[in-house]
Amino acid sequence: MLMHQIEEILEYSFKDKKLLTQALTHKSFAAEHKCANYNERLEFLGDSVLGLVVAHYVFNVGNTLEEGKLAKLKSHLVSRDFLAHWAKDIELGKSLFLGQGEHASGGRNRDSILSDAMEAVIGAAYLDGGFKIVKQFIDKRLSLIGIGISSEDFKSELQEIIQKKLKTPPIYEVVQTIGPEHDKTFTVTVNAKNIEIGKGKGKNKKEAEQYAAKDALNNIKDGKTKI
């Protein structure tokens, strides 16, 4: 992917293209090519900018939530898993400048590299266009994926319902794992009294369990599952 395609996805054109290049440059590439600039400093800045934007977002969306639940939701939205998923959705890995070793070992799909690069892009956009610009595309991402106030509480919510009705907790089971080691997709089912009530997929077990719990809650709400 070319840099202008990233700009199209972000709906922002960098005035200083060198900032975007730096955001996409991993230290392994810099070491091999003796470059002075790579993305770790921008990653540091982007982490703080992201935290502020997300805090503002969850404060508005979760206007009835207490501090502890707001903090939990924010933690999810700035996590490595969330950022890596975002980076994969926009195919950021294709544009990264990686050293030969990192490239050969699957670095373009590695969550740690992708999440760091996503933070670096946010930091670069902040320096180039200011807070308003970076807030716009972060807020758009959050609204597009439909994050709500219970995004981190699907498992807790389901457990409360099942425990109350059946006096036993729901059981989660990994039923399928596909993909290479650096880019696996997990499929998880959630069962109550040996009956499957939901299924979900994710890039790790935790994410898949959350989606399985969400599916189960929807099935209960829609009357597809009787408990």
Rounded to two decimals, the pTM is 0.67
Average pLDDT over the chain, rounded to whole? Answer: 89
The token duo for 221 is 């709400």
Q: Which of 7, 47, 152, 196 is catalytic?
A: 47
pLDDT digits (tens, 9 = 90+) for 161-214: 999 999 999 999 999 999 876 678 899 999 999 999 999 998 788 888 989 999
Residues 6+ apart with CB under 8 A from 222: none
In the chain, what are the domains? Answer: 3-144 (1.10.1520.10), 154-222 (3.30.160.20)
* DSSP line for 154-205: HHHHHHHHHHHHHSS--EEEEEEEES-TTS-EEEEEEEETTEEEEEEEESSH
Q: Which is more confident, 189 or 143? A: 189
Q: Which of 102, 111, 119, 215 is catalytic?
A: 119
| For residue 151, pLDDT beyond 50 | no
Whole-angstrom CA distances from 48 to 10, 54, 123, 143, 185 are: 19, 10, 8, 20, 29
The token duo for 179 is 């993909």
121 and 83 in contact (C-beta within 8 Å)?
no
Q: How far is CA 169 from the centre of its chain?
A: 27
Distance between start and end Cα atoms, the chain: 48
| For residue 223, pLDDT beyond 90 | no
d(CA 115, CA 98): 14
**What's the pLDDT band for 145 if we cut at 50, 70, 90?**
low
pLDDT the model gives residue 147: 54
pLDDT digits (tens, 9 = 90+) for 44-78: 999 999 999 999 998 887 777 788 888 888 888 89
Known active-site residue 47: yes
